[in-house]
């Protein structure tokens, strides 16, 4: 991993390090946020708040998630380990999480999740947080709210019918109309809880906020639809697009374009909420000593490989995510080397002066935040880069490894929760190459991303010498990762069976309702 910021000499880096006085860290994660949806990665997009963070901070151009779904990526984001690597389950119940490490060091911790059912107590995510609220029951507490969450077209009709009255009311009161008419995404619940935490908590603190607006269904406030489009179309785009998708009708170019517009509008909506969260740091007088990190937990597909949303695949539209860091006193510029999201826990701990857990797989990115050249994934404990070497050729840095599990049908629901739920797919990525293997069936794919941005030409079918060398370098990484997961999964099977017999592994009604509202039946 290297930084292309030419303004940082070794002396500059040392001075920047001395100038950095970080007492607090805010980690913002955005569900289903692909890298090219925000302006630091695509200047045609509109995300001015995130762009402002990037302007004086650090942008990781090749940041990759470790899975295509929230439960597959978050063990790396909050526990710096691969999914299934601890208990054979998708959670972090037995893991040493970032919040636990920081809490043990005397740092106040708050976590607020906008009702993603996979980031709840059932899978161990509150562990280590002094304050934690998943807002799941606020979705499952009434039949009406559950219905709206699961039927976006109905919600769009309500937004449309309410729009004239809302605009008139905004003009009469002098208030803006930047709030969605309905908060099915729980964005404002999270925003308000985070603001209260910042105002009420003494330094030092760690705050994690997770947004769901960019997850299907996309139901942004109409003003954001107008802001990211030509200003003429608005809520009717929601009606048309959601009606066609909910009825299972063919998604043509018009519907796909509308879905992309709605998605970009939700990105702008989250961007505005992050701006208000930053305002709360200013109001509390802690902005100057608070580092802010923004990341997507995985991406989103718009038929690049035949589907919408985020089904079990490992192509870039689902794995390439934004990672932006604004740290007082540090300006790393743009970092062009590949990094995995398992670097987040050790990076946050490093910024707060706390020793990382020896069980974590990732390495701190603080050297990159200083503008220094650094390597990634130099672990030797069976982590994401298990000693990748080609015949006579060694990779400069270990590849980023990502995982998914696929049943017979790519659209199979519910989300697999163990390795036994389907075939295991593992990918390995470096700066230029993506290698994907179905380790159960032995099928292989290889893509050269600079010449094939959407990964359409599988070079593993008839590899030339260069492609063969890449396969030979990545295949042992994938094999070692598969062996690690299977060994740990097998070791955890007795405990998992016992939990099932005792009925302790059942998901409660509110949680099931929220998962169903998100499309996970």
pLDDT digits (tens, 9 = 90+) for 144-196: 555 555 555 565 566 656 655 665 665 666 555 555 555 567 888 899 999 99
Dist. CA 422–CA 479, nearest whole Å: 17
Dist. CA 151–CA 141, nearest whole Å: 16
Bridging pattern class, strands 333-340 and 58-64: parallel
- Provide the greatest CA pair distance for the chain: 73
The DSSP bridge partners found for residue 443 are 438
* Average pLDDT rounded to a whole number, residues 360-367: 95
pLDDT band of residue 504 (cuts 50, 70, 90) is very low
pLDDT at 86: 77
Dist. CA 485–CA 459, nearest whole Å: 27
Q: Is the pLDDT of residue 251 over 50?
A: yes
| Distance (Å) of CA 423 to CA 305, 438, 443, 485, 490 | 19, 7, 11, 13, 16
Dist. CA 370–CA 333, nearest whole Å: 9
3-class secondary-structure state, position 111: strand
Q: Is the pLDDT of residue 221 over 50?
A: yes
Highest mean pLDDT among 94-108, 127-141, 235-249, 416-430: 94-108
pLDDT at 159: 60
Could you tell me what percent of the chain has a pLDDT over 90? 50
pLDDT at 300: 93
pLDDT at 219: 80
pLDDT tens for 48-64 read: 999 999 998 999 999 99
Could you tell me what percent of the chain has a pLDDT over 70? 71
pLDDT at 154: 61
pLDDT at 184: 61
In terms of pLDDT, which residue wins out, 237 or 90? 90
pLDDT at 257: 81
Dist. CA 323–CA 396, nearest whole Å: 21
Cis amide bond preceding 34, omega within 30: no
* Average pLDDT rounded to a whole number, residues 322-342: 95
Two tokens at 196? 């209260």
pLDDT at 391: 38
Dist. CA 41–CA 59, nearest whole Å: 9
| Distance (Å) of CA 82 to CA 190, 482, 488 | 27, 11, 11
| 3-class secondary structure per residue, 338-373 | EEEHHHHHHHHHHHCCCCCCCCCCCCCCHHHHCCCC
124 and 83 Cβ atoms separated by less than 8 Å: no
pLDDT tens for 437-473 read: 999 999 999 999 999 999 999 999 999 999 999 999 9
In terms of pLDDT, which residue wins out, 224 or 516? 224
3-class secondary-structure state, position 87: coil
Dist. CA 395–CA 404, nearest whole Å: 24
DSSP 221: -
pTM (2 decimals)? 0.84
Two tokens at 198? 């910042």
pLDDT at 503: 43
In terms of pLDDT, which residue wins out, 146 or 361? 361
pLDDT at 113: 93
Q: What is the DSSP string of 92-107?
A: -TTS--HHHHHHHTT-
pLDDT tens for 1-31 read: 655 443 333 334 343 344 457 999 999 999 9
pLDDT at 7: 38
435 and 428 Cβ atoms separated by less than 8 Å: yes
Arithmetic mean of pLDDT over the chain: 80
pLDDT at 142: 53
pLDDT tens for 35-50 read: 999 999 999 999 999 9
Among residues 148, 89, 81, the alpha carbon closest in space to that of 115 is found at 148
pLDDT tens for 388-444 read: 333 334 446 899 999 998 877 776 666 777 777 788 999 999 999 999 999 999 999
Q: Is the pLDDT of residue 140 over 70?
A: no
pLDDT tens for 310-325 read: 778 999 999 999 999 9
- Contacts (Cβ under 8 Å, ≥6 apart) of 327: 20, 22, 57, 58, 291, 292, 351, 369
Dist. CA 296–CA 307, nearest whole Å: 20
- Cα angle: 178, vertex 182, 188; to 5 degrees: 65
Tally the residues of the chain. 521
DSSP 214: T
pLDDT at 164: 58
The DSSP bridge partners found for residue 479 are none
- Angle between the 143-150 and 509-517 helix axes, to the nearest 10 degrees? 30
Q: Can you list the domains of the chain with their CATH numbers?
A: 24-150+185-372+399-493+501-518 (3.40.720.10)
In terms of pLDDT, which residue wins out, 301 or 387? 301
The percent of the chain in helix, strand and coil, each rounded to the nearest 5, is: 40, 15, 40
């Amino acid at each position: 991993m290297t930084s292309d910021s030419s303004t940082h000499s070794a002396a500059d880096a040392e001075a920047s390090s001395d100038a950095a006085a970080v007492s607090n860290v805010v980690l913002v994660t955005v569900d289903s946020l692909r890298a090219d949806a925000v302006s630091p990665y695509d200047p045609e997009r509109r995300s001015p708040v995130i762009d402002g963070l990037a302007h004086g901070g650090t942008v990781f151009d090749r940041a990759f998630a470790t899975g295509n779904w929230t439960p597959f990526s978050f063990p790396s984001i909050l526990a710096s380990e691969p999914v299934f690597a601890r208990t054979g389950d998708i959670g972090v119940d037995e893991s040493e999480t970032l919040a636990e490490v920081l809490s043990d060091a005397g740092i106040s911790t708050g976590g607020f999740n906008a009702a993603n059912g996979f980031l709840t107590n059932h899978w161990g995510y509150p562990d280590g947080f002094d304050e934690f609220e998943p807002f799941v029951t606020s979705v499952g507490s009434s039949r009406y709210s559950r219905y709206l969450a699961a039927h976006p077209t109905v919600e769009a009709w309500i937004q449309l019918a309410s729009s004239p009255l809302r605009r008139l009311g905004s003009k009469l009161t002098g208030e803006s109309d930047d709030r969605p008419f309905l908060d099915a995404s729980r964005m404002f619940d999270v925003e308000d809880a985070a603001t209260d935490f910042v105002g009420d908590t003494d330094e030092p603190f760690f705050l994690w906020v997770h947004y769901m607006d960019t997850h299907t269904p996309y139901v942004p406030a109409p003003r954001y639809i107008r802001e990211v489009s030509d200003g003429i179309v608005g809520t009717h785009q929601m009606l048309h697009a959601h009606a066609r998708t909910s009825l299972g009708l063919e998604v043509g170019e018009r519907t796909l374009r509308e879905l992309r517009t709605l998605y970009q509008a939700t990105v702008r909506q989250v961007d505005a909420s992050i701006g208000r969260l930053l305002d709360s740091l200013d109001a509390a007088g802690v902005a100057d000593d608070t580092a802010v990190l923004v990341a997507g937990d995985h991406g989103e597909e718009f038929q690049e490989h035949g589907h919408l949303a985020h089904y079990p695949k490992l192509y870039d539209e689902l794995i390439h995510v934004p990672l932006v860091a604004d740290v007082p006193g540090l300006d790393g510029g743009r970092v062009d080397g590949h990094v995995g999201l398992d670097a987040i826990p050790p990076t946050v701990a490093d910024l707060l002066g706390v020793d990382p857990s020896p069980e974590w797989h990732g390495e701190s990115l603080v050297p990159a935040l200083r503008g220094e050249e650094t390597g990634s994934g130099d672990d030797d404990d069976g982590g994401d880069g298990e000693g990748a070497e080609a015949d006579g050729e060694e990779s400069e840095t270990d590849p980023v490894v990502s995982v998914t599990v696929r049943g017979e049908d790519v659209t199979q629901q519910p989300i697999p929760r163990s390795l036994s739920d389907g075939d295991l797919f593992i990918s390995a990525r470096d700066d230029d190459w993506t290698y994907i293997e179905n380790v159960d069936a032995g099928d292989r794919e290889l893509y050269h991303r600079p010449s094939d941005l959407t990964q359409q030409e599988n070079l593993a079918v008839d590899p030339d010498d260069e492609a063969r060398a890449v396969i030979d370098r990545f295949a042992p990484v994938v094999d070692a990762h598969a062996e690690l997961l299977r060994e740990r999964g097998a070791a955890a099977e007795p405990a998992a069976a016992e939990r099932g017999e005792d009925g302790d592994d059942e998901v409660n009604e509110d949680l099931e309702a929220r998962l169903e509202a998100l499309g996970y039946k």
